[in-house]
Amino acid sequence: QEDSGKVDAGYSDEPPTPPDDPSAPSNNPN
């Protein structure tokens, strides 16, 4: 049952929050 909580969070409407990655285009507005 504990795993179900993690699954729900992963399959939420919003995508999982990625780790802070300076090289990611999302974090590079410039």
What is the rounded radius of gyration, in angstroms, for the C-alpha atoms of the chain?
A: 13
| Residue 5, pLDDT above cutoff 60 | no
- 21-27: long-range contacts at Cβ-Cβ below 8 A with a sequence spacing of 24 or more? none
Which pTM does this prediction carry?
0.15
20: how many CB neighbours lie within 10 A of its CB?
Answer: 7
* 8 A C-beta contact, residue 16 and residue 10: yes
Angle at 15 between CA 8 and CA 26, to 5 degrees: 160
**pLDDT at res. 22:** 66
| Residue 21, pLDDT above cutoff 60 | yes
- Which residues contact residue 14 at a Cβ distance below 8 angstroms, ignoring those fewer than 6 apart? none
